[in-house]
Every structure is written in structure tokens, then in C-alpha cells.
Amino acid sequence: MLSARHLLLHCLFLLFSLSALAATRVDELADPRAQQGSHVANPDGLLSGAAVSQIDGLLKQLEAETGTQVAVVAVQSVADGDVFGFAQGLFERWGIGRKGHDDGALILLALEQRTVRIHTGYGLEGVLPDAVCKRITSELMLPALRAGRYDEGMLAGVQAVLQQLRSGGSGMLPLQAGNFSEASGARTTSRASAQVLDAWSVLRWVFAGCLLFATLFWQMFRSTGKREETSERGGGFLGCMQRLPWHLHAAVFTGLPLLFLLLLDILRPPGLFWLALGGIYGFYLLAAVLRAIALRQELARMFQRRRYVALAELLETQRVFWGGMAFIFPVPMAVHFFTLDRLARHYRWAPRACLHCKQPGMRCLSEEEEDAFLGKTQQLEESLHSVDHDVWLCPACGKYSSIAYPQRNSKYSRCPDCKAMARLLLGDEVVEAATTSSSGRGTRFYQCKACNKRRRESYAIARIQESSSSSSSSSSSSSSSSSSWGGGSSGGGGSSSSW
């Protein structure tokens, strides 16, 4: 059912709908000052060459005049969507600003995060307070950035920062009375909102990962299910759902939620996380409730059409699924799950009509009576308590039908040779123990009580996982921490604006 091509297409579909773009990590970004003496890092080419050299010229002039170092960085995306963390990390790594003075600033554009941030060193917090950074980013930079004019937006920000620095904090951008009160709280609010956005960017991936996993799991589950039963199942919503091709299924149950996530990501409404969680949870809950209703209707329809065997099988195969649903959606799916048992008992003993003469009034035979109608294997299964066979006899035409009810807690499994539920596990031994470097192998011995055939089946034992080692933590020590910048540090001052 599920070919490798389908799986691949599926993964691609998910990846594209996530608009997954390679994000830059702090240690991946080359220091432009060390490489070509520039103040501007533009690794993804978001800014034009002309804008880069113009900005660099302005910043070089500033440094020559005042010693203040300002770096401009424009990247497509920052790792984990954490703009604040990226800015702080870069500041620490490069050491922007003179040592002791800590008079550095970083203007960072993270396009995919739709955020521009001015990050200031300790020494600039007086001249370039957070409230001013906020105004520069939101009022002077955002309009152009939002419109896709990155050169213009970044240049406007750089010029405003320069003017502010040159005026010693009292020039171009006088703070109005209202903004002073904002200044004290700005640091905390900007950081709080940064944290909300950071949490969201992580959660977005968690959501998407869960959806991907659920879909792949669902596909595997479907592909291993018994497809021949589908023909037994009637029309209706449930039958329709089960006959739905996999890509339609994926479009509805993965595509729609992903689209919803994407929409939230664009709109960024307040209460983003709870909206996403509630929306997705609600969507699947609604789908589960509709399916539960459909299942009950389908069962009633099957009973009416005298598909007693198929009905019993359907109830049996649906158990695992609804157990999972009851676990994920305790309210109200647990009720449905526990009433399924009652429903199964109801349908098992419900008076029924004959399949042959269509007369009502069939009689369910007692354990003693039914032996005469059961085959040898069926009688054996009865005595092993692995399967319960019901025999219904029609008093009108004398024909009978039997229905099998496999017992859930039986120690017998189905024999691959004679298909009887009479295979017993005799032994299980480890041939080769698993180590941390290789997987192991084991053998299980079975014997069938019906056909007496013995079988040995080998199985793999998973490799023992080492506790997280330091193998992958070789930090890139190539570019030294004592960079060409001055060695200044930042306490996380500054402000971001997002669009």
C-alpha cells in the first residue's frame, strides 16, 4: 500500500508546507570584519552590494570618529527562531565594541522571523536606550522591511542609530514624555515578547513534528490493516473515510492543520500558542467524534444487513484505534471506548435473522450444543480459550452460521501454517546480546497445538543506546574568540520589532 515513492512524496509535501529554510547558527556566521574588514555580514545576499558598502562606509566613519563599533547582520533565518539569543550569542562571540567601554551595537535582520533587532552593549544603554531602539526599529525600519525593501529599511536604521550616537542620546530622536515611562518597562516587555516568539518558533516545530509523526504512523497503520475487509464495509461516512486515497487523507488531516499553523504564524495573533494547541486539538477531536458517530451508524447498518461476521471483525479491529483516541482525548472519547465493549456484547447476543431464509428467530446454541457444528480446529480453540465460537441455528430452515470471537488475553497466537489460534510460545532465547556498538539477535520457539508444527523465528534486539556522549559537541574552534572586533560585551540591551 505504502510504497517508498509515496513515503518520499509525503515527506517532501510536509517539508515544503513547513517552508523549511536553513537557519544560521551563531557559530556558522563568518565574521566579516575578520574576513574583509567589513562591518556588515550579508551571507544570504538579502542586501544589495551597494547598500552593504554604503552601510559599511557609514559605520567605518563612525568608528573612526568615536570608536563605537556597530555591526549590521542580515540573515534569512536564525537557528531555532531565537532572534534575541542569536543577537546575544553573536555579540559574545564577536565581542562587538571596545573592551572596557562596551560601546558596541548590533543591528540584526532575521527575515524568516520577520524581526529586526538593535542589540546594545552595556556602554550604549544610556545613549541608545531600549525605548529608542524600539522606536527606530518599529517606526523607521519596519515600514520598508515589511514592504520587502531591505536595503532601505536597514539603511534607515543605521542612519538613525548613527544620529542618536553622534548626538549623545539627545539629538534626533527626542523621547516624549510618554516614552520615558515606557523606557523603564521596555526592557522587560521586549524581552517577554521575545520569549513568547521564541517559544512559539520552537512549538511550531514540535507541532509540525507531531503531525508528521502521526501521519506517517497512520499510513503505516493503514497499510498493515486488512484491506479486504473494506469491501465488506458499506458506504456511509466511515466507509468513505476508509476508502479515501492516502494523499487526500494527508491533505485533510495533515495539510489543513499545517495550513492553520502557517496562518497563525503569519497573523501572530495574541494567545498564539493556545490558539494553535486548541485549534489543532479541537480539529482532531471533532474528526474523532465524527468518526465515532459514523462507526456506530455503520455497525447498526451492518447488523441490519445481516453482516454479523464482518460486524464482529470490525469491532475487534477498531479497538486499538479507539483505545488510542481515548488516551489522547479522554473527554469524551473514553466514554465511547468503554461503551464499545457494551456495544460489542449487545451485538453479540442481539436476536438476528437467518442469512439464508431471512426468517427472524435464530437461536444461539449453548456451549454443549455447539460442538456438533464446530470443526476440530474450532473445538480445539474453544478448549484452549483462544477463540470463542458462537453458533446460531435457524429453526426455520435448519441452516447455521458461526462467528469467531478471539479472546484478548489468550496466550495463543495465530499459527502461520494452519491459521488456528493455537500457537504457543515455548521459549525465547538471546543468541547474541546487544551491545552499545551492535544490535543483538534472539530466537523464539513456537509450537502449534492444532497442527503440531514447530517453528523458530529469529528477531533483532535493538542496540543499547549510550547515554549522550560528547561526540557531537566538538565546537568549531576555528575562528578564535578574540576576534577583530574590540571585545565588548552586552547585557542584552536593545529592542526588537516584528512584522
* Choices 231-239, 319-327, 350-358, 469-477; region in contact with Zn ion by CB under 5 A: 350-358
Closest to Zn ion by CB, 293 or 397: 397
Position among 335, 357, 425, 433 found at the interface with Zn ion (CB under 5 A): 357
Based on the shown chain and the rule CB under 5 A, indicate whether residue 361 belongs to the binding site for Zn ion. no
Closest to Zn ion by CB, 34 or 451: 451
How far is Cα 345 from Cα 223, in angstroms, rounded to an integer?
Answer: 29
Tell me the closest approach of the beta carbon of residue 352 to Zn ion, in angstroms.
11
Based on the shown chain and the rule CB under 5 A, indicate whether residue 394 belongs to the binding site for Zn ion. yes
Tell me the closest approach of the beta carbon of residue 80 to Zn ion, in angstroms.
55
How far is Cα 402 from Cα 394, in angstroms, rounded to an integer?
Answer: 12
Based on the shown chain and the rule CB under 5 A, indicate whether residue 417 belongs to the binding site for Zn ion. yes
How far is Cα 54 from Cα 179, in angstroms, rounded to an integer?
Answer: 31
How far is Cα 15 from Cα 209, in angstroms, rounded to an integer?
Answer: 10
Other CB atoms within 10 A of residue 369 CB: 12
Tell me the closest approach of the beta carbon of residue 363 to Zn ion, in angstroms.
11
* Choices 292-300, 306-314, 369-377, 390-398; region in contact with Zn ion by CB under 5 A: 390-398
Tell me the closest approach of the beta carbon of residue 382 to Zn ion, in angstroms.
16
> Inter-axis angle of helices 177-224 and 83-94, to 10 degrees?
110
Other CB atoms within 10 A of residue 196 CB: 15
Closest to Zn ion by CB, 25 or 356: 356
Question: 440 - beta bridge partners?
Answer: 461
In the numeric block, the cell 485549534 is attached to 279
Based on the shown chain and the rule CB under 5 A, indicate whether residue 252 belongs to the binding site for Zn ion. no
Based on the shown chain and the rule CB under 5 A, indicate whether residue 421 belongs to the binding site for Zn ion. no
Task: Judge contact between 44 and 74, C-beta under 8 A.
Answer: yes
Q: Which of 363, 350, 347, 368 is nearest to 399 (CA)?
A: 363
Other CB atoms within 10 A of residue 476 CB: 8
Q: Classify 457 as helix, strand or coil.
A: strand
- Side chain identity, residue 480: S
Position among 18, 34, 451, 461 found at the interface with Zn ion (CB under 5 A): 451
Based on the shown chain and the rule CB under 5 A, indicate whether residue 397 belongs to the binding site for Zn ion. yes
Closest to Zn ion by CB, 149 or 419: 419
**Per the structure block, which three cell numbers stand in for 286?**
471533532
- List the interface residues with Zn ion, window 175-204 (CB under 5 A): none
Q: Which of 139, 125, 136, 118 is nearest to 70 (CA)?
A: 118
Tell me the closest approach of the beta carbon of residue 418 to Zn ion, in angstroms.
3
Based on the shown chain and the rule CB under 5 A, indicate whether residue 418 belongs to the binding site for Zn ion. yes
| Secondary structure (DSSP) of 304-337 | HTT-HHHHHHHHHHHHHHHHHHHHH-HHHHHHHH
How far is Cα 150 from Cα 108, in angstroms, rounded to an integer?
Answer: 12
How far is Cα 107 from Cα 119, in angstroms, rounded to an integer?
Answer: 6
* Choices 193-201, 366-374, 430-438, 445-453; region in contact with Zn ion by CB under 5 A: 445-453
* Choices 198-206, 286-294, 397-405, 438-446; region in contact with Zn ion by CB under 5 A: 397-405
Closest to Zn ion by CB, 290 or 397: 397
Closest to Zn ion by CB, 10 or 449: 449
Position among 356, 411, 454, 463 found at the interface with Zn ion (CB under 5 A): 356
Closest to Zn ion by CB, 132 or 450: 450
Based on the shown chain and the rule CB under 5 A, indicate whether residue 107 belongs to the binding site for Zn ion. no
* Choices 185-193, 314-322, 448-456, 464-472; region in contact with Zn ion by CB under 5 A: 448-456
Tell me the closest approach of the beta carbon of residue 428 to Zn ion, in angstroms.
19
Based on the shown chain and the rule CB under 5 A, indicate whether residue 15 belongs to the binding site for Zn ion. no
Closest to Zn ion by CB, 403 or 451: 451
How far is Cα 119 from Cα 121, in angstroms, rounded to an integer?
Answer: 7
Position among 51, 96, 415, 421 found at the interface with Zn ion (CB under 5 A): 415
Q: Which of 90, 109, 120 is nearest to 154 (CA)?
A: 109
- List all residues 6 or more positions away from 440 whose beta carbon is below 8 Å from its beta carbon: 430, 431, 432, 433, 434, 460, 461, 463
Closest to Zn ion by CB, 247 or 399: 399
Tell me the closest approach of the beta carbon of residue 376 to Zn ion, in angstroms.
12
How far is Cα 264 from Cα 274, in angstroms, rounded to an integer?
Answer: 11
Is the peptide bond between 416 and the residue preceding it cis, with omega within 30 degrees of 0? no
In the numeric block, the cell 549522550 is attached to 468
Closest to Zn ion by CB, 149 or 453: 453
Classify residue 120 by its DSSP letter: E
- List the interface residues with Zn ion, window 37-76 (CB under 5 A): none
Closest to Zn ion by CB, 285 or 403: 403
User: What does the binding site for Zn ion look like in residue numbers (CB under 5 A)?
Assistant: 354, 356-357, 394, 396-397, 415, 417-418, 448, 450-451
